[in-house]
Amino acid sequence: MRILKYLCKDCIETDLKADSKDEVLRLLAEKSEQVCPGLDGGALLSVLKEREALGSTGIGGGIAIPHGKIAGLEKLSLLLFRSLQGVPFNALDGKPVRIIVLLVAPEDAPALYLRVLARISKLLKETNVIEALLSAEDREAMRDILAKADSGTI
């Protein structure tokens, strides 16, 4: 499975300006509403906040993977945000997050949802992938890095 088919060019933000986890979640929901057909940003924000209430999706190492399922959504989508300054996110290691990948999936696609979540988690555990994403010059470079990581060439 290649995750890039779920990440559009317009779904990448190279310099997220946010000061808190709540602000990040709000911006993710707003952007998702713009790029995901039929997605209600308010509903997504509620789902993301409910998920965060269970435990932070900040997995450590400067990474957060907020995720949720939405009824009526047409297809699974990924959004990739980079924060150059870092955002407090209550991550497991207590450090700010700099790479945020949102996974939003149709409620009726639990198997695909879990496979993509596992794949993203695996790719973002690679230090060289994170370093490359943090130093990428633009959206296209970030997309290329994920493509290389996904194919095992980085």
Contact 28, 18 (CB under 8 A): no
Average pLDDT, integer, range 118-134: 94
Q: Say what percent of the chain tops pLDDT 70.
A: 100
- pLDDT band of residue 24 (cuts 50, 70, 90) is very high
Report which of 16, 143, 44, 148 is spatially closest to residue 103, judged by C-alpha positions: 44
Contact 150, 19 (CB under 8 A): no
Residue count of the chain, please give it: 154
Residue 106: predicted pLDDT:
92
Domains along the sequence of the chain with CATH: 3-151 (3.40.930.10)
Structure-block tokens of residue 93 = 């290691």
Residue 117: predicted pLDDT:
95
Please give the DSSP secondary-structure letter assigned to residue 95.
P
- pLDDT band of residue 1 (cuts 50, 70, 90) is confident
Strand partners, 78: 103
Q: Which residues fall within 8 angstroms of residue 39, CB to CB, at 6 or more apart?
A: 32, 33, 70, 73, 77, 104
- pLDDT band of residue 130 (cuts 50, 70, 90) is very high
Contact 99, 64 (CB under 8 A): yes
Structure-block tokens of residue 69 = 């399922």
For the cut 80, the answer to whether the pLDDT of residue 154 exceeds it is no
Please give the DSSP secondary-structure letter assigned to residue 124.
T
Q: Find tokens 């990440």 and name the residue.
A: 7
| pLDDT tens column, 75-88 | 999 999 999 999 99
Residue 8: predicted pLDDT:
81
For the cut 90, the answer to whether the pLDDT of residue 114 exceeds it is yes
Average pLDDT, integer, range 97-121: 94
| pLDDT tens column, 41-93 | 999 999 999 999 999 999 999 999 999 999 888 899 999 999 999 999 999 99
The catalytically annotated residue of 21, 31, 67, 98 is: 67
For the cut 90, the answer to whether the pLDDT of residue 2 exceeds it is no
Residue 73: predicted pLDDT:
87
Annotated active-site residue 67? The verdict is: yes
